[in-house]
């Protein structure tokens, strides 16, 4: 296998609560040669113009800043995923994708000019020091940090540092569940934390749903994802699972090697996973390397319009090999391959050019990259999908490539714009979720969950909290009354409980609020257990996996059976 497998993939940028951003493509490796020696073009116009400006321009100029502007302008004329990154951006991406960093171990946001802890990372020094979700870090080394000049960059510089070093923090806890800004926080208490190496998990949930069906939530493909995935699959098997749902919704990509290693566990040896090819990049095939230990497990993969690149490789390989059922909506459509070249920068050290050199293709030959270039508003793709109706109606899905490709069993599949699911799940087009949407996007629901937990910490929430517990159903201080008060306080119109639609929305709001509270008390895994209840994607995947005639075996191999397969039930043993 080529060393190119250590490359990166990703799609649309995703917001990260730890204030890092992922903006990478499929990396084949670092370029070692100066491309100019292979090019007949020796045009020095840019250097000539910069020289003239530097010497003769009426005002002083920063040459390096002008070069940065020129470089960004050049790459913007190419494809959407060719990029130039500064050394700082490279470092931020590396920290995220390597699966660990050194610091105090908190995920945070800045809320009302104050640093709010969203999560104390399990196993990290902050968790062991007693820091909780919802805590405000208001002092570092005795100095106040709250105020309009508090930024993510400043927080990172204050809190991150070499393992073994210490930092003194001043913490407050808010016990005002209604979020009244006039009500003061509790007194500051001090905590000294010794920094350590902090894991950045990418498999954030793993549990058995029902009837021996396991569930895994994977949010990125980092350097540690395949190891995390293996551990989680082993745990599911120990708990009695015999099939699995892999949730890749919102997963923008990551390392190719992680995706291929994960796929190895579900495929028999020698099956195609993906191949890459470009004008100056010869075809490279990536195939399964052994008979996977879970090759007899039926599998369903959940995708949506924000599942990209490595997620699309994972879904596409299972679809083309008729090994898994793809459930959801058409994926993002990011199928370009980048190679990284070091670029010297006099001001900030070496930057990097990530240049598109090839495309990737599923085993059947499908190109996943959606159209770009002249006449295409690439950044407006989501709005275009809404306008076309494809997020709501399966018949409205638009593909740039109308050529039919065939899976291993002869099913028709199409390329040219992401992976089209086998089972379509529409976006909720009703207005019934308006109140919930406002509570989520304003942050009110999240903030209320922090303060609700603070008010009830003395009630042993880890053991006593449930949807039917008296703590949660209390008519005055329970979940429903709390979130209703928060909604009314911020001007959100509370649903009318006299109508069935209104009652259903109230139920959704309370469940979402409960899930957020559970996340603060019990962590990410418990949060996803709550969220999967009533999740249409998960419920449909469960139904399909438990159907007696959905999967069959031939020569010891498990295959997905759908109506247009060129193989009949008589040639397969039913699973």
- 320 catalytic? Reply is yes
475: which DSSP letter?
Answer: T
* Closest to 173 in 3D by CA, of 455, 519, 440: 455
CA atoms of 541 and 551, how far apart (whole Å): 13
CA 69 to centroid of chain Cα atoms: 30
Give the torsion sign (CA, 107, 111, 116, 122). Answer: negative
- Are 307 and 331 in contact, with CB atoms under 8 Å apart? yes
Catalytic site residue from 206, 258, 309, 364:
309
Please pick, among 264, 304, 320, 381, the residue that the annotation labels catalytic. Answer: 320
**Helix, strand, or coil (residue 161):** coil
- Using alpha carbons, select from 33, 2, 11 the residue that is nearest to residue 331: 11
Find where tokens 């009949």 sit. 568
- HSE-up of 3 (CA within 13 Å, CB side)? 4
Q: What is the CB neighbour count within 10 angstroms for residue 432?
A: 15
The residues facing 504 across adjacent strands are none
**Per-residue burial over 462-477, b = 16 or more CB atoms within 10 Å of its CB, e = otherwise:** eeebeeeeebbeeeee
> Token match 């920290």: residue?
95
334 is catalytic: yes
- Are 9 and 254 in contact by the 8 Å Cβ rule? The answer is yes
Instruction: State both tokens at 469.
Output: 């517990």
Locate tokens 């709501």: which residue?
A: 392
Contact 457, 517 (CB under 8 A): no
Contact indicator for 16, 22 with CB cutoff of 8 Å = yes
Q: Is residue 187 flagged as an active site residue?
A: no
Catalytic residue among 132, 135, 217, 334: 334
Catalytic residues: 309, 320, 334
């Amino acid at each position: 296998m080529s060393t190119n497998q250590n490359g990166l993939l990703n799609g649309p940028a995703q917001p990260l609560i730890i204030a890092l951003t992922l903006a990478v493509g499929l990396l084949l490796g670092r370029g070692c040669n100066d491309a100019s020696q292979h090019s007949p073009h020796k045009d020095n116009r840019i250097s000539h113009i910069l020289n003239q400006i530097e010497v003769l321009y009426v005002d002083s100029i920063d040459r390096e800043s002008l070069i940065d502007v020129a470089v960004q302008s050049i790459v913007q004329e190419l494809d959407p995923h060719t990029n130039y990154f500064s050394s700082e951006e490279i470092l931020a991406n590396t920290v995220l994708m390597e699966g660990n960093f050194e610091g105090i171990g908190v995920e945070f946001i800045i809320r009302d000019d104050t640093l709010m802890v969203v999560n104390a990372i399990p196993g990290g020094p902050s968790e062991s020091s007693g820091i909780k979700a919802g805590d405000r870090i208001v002092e570092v080394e005795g100095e106040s940090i709250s105020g309009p000049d508090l930024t993510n960059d400043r927080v990172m510089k204050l809190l991150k540092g070499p393992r073994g070093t210490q930092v003194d923090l001043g913490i407050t806890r808010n016990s005002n569940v209604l979020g009244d800004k006039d009500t003061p926080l509790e007194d500051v208490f001090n905590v000294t934390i010794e920094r350590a190496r902090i894991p950045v998990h990418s498999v954030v949930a793993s549990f058995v749903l029902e009837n021996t069906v396991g569930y895994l939530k994977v949010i990125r493909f980092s350097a540690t994802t395949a190891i995390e995935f293996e551990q989680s699959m082993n745990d599911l098997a120990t708990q009695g699972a015999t099939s699995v749902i892999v949730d890749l919704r919102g997963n923008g990509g990551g390392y190719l090697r992680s995706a291929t290693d994960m796929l190895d566990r579900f495929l028999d040896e020698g099956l195609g996973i993906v191949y890459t090819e470009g004008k100056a990049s010869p075809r490279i095939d990536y195939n399964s390397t052994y008979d996977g230990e879970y090759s007899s497990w039926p599998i369903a993969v959940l995708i949506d319009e924000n599942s990209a690149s490595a997620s699309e490789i994972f879904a596409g390989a299972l679809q083309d090999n008729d090994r898994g059922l793809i459930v959801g909506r058409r994926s993002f459509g990011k199928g370009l391959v980048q190679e990284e070249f070091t670029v010297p920068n006099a001001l900030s050290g070496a930057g990097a050019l990530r240049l598109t050199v090839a495309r990737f293709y599923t085993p059947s030959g499908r190109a996943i990259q959606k159209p770009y270039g002249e006449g295409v508003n690439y950044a407006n793709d989501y709005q275009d999908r809404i306008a076309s109706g494809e997020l709501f109606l399966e018949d409205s899905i638009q593909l740039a490539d109308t050529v039919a490709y065939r899976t291993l069993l002869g099913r028709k599949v199409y390329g040219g714009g992401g992976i089209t699911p086998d089972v379509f799940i529409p976006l909720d087009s009703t207005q019934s979720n308006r109140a919930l949407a406002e509570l989520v996007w304003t942050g009110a629901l999240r903030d209320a969950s922090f303060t609700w937990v603070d008010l009830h910490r003395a009630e042993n929430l880890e053991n006593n909290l449930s949807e039917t517990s008296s703590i949660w159903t209390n008519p005055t201080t329970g979940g429903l009354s709390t979130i209703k008060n928060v909604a009314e306080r911020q001007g959100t119109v509370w649903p009318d409980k006299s109508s069935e639609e209104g009652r259903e929305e109230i139920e959704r709001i309370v469940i979402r609020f409960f899930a957020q509270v559970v996340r603060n008390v019990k962590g990410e895994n418990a949060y996803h257990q709550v969220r999967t209840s009533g999740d249409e994607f998960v419920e449909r995947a469960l139904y399909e996996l438990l159907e007696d005639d959905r999967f069959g075996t031939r020569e010891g191999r498990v295959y997905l059976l759908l109506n247009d397969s060129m193989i009949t039930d008589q040639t397969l043993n039913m699973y």
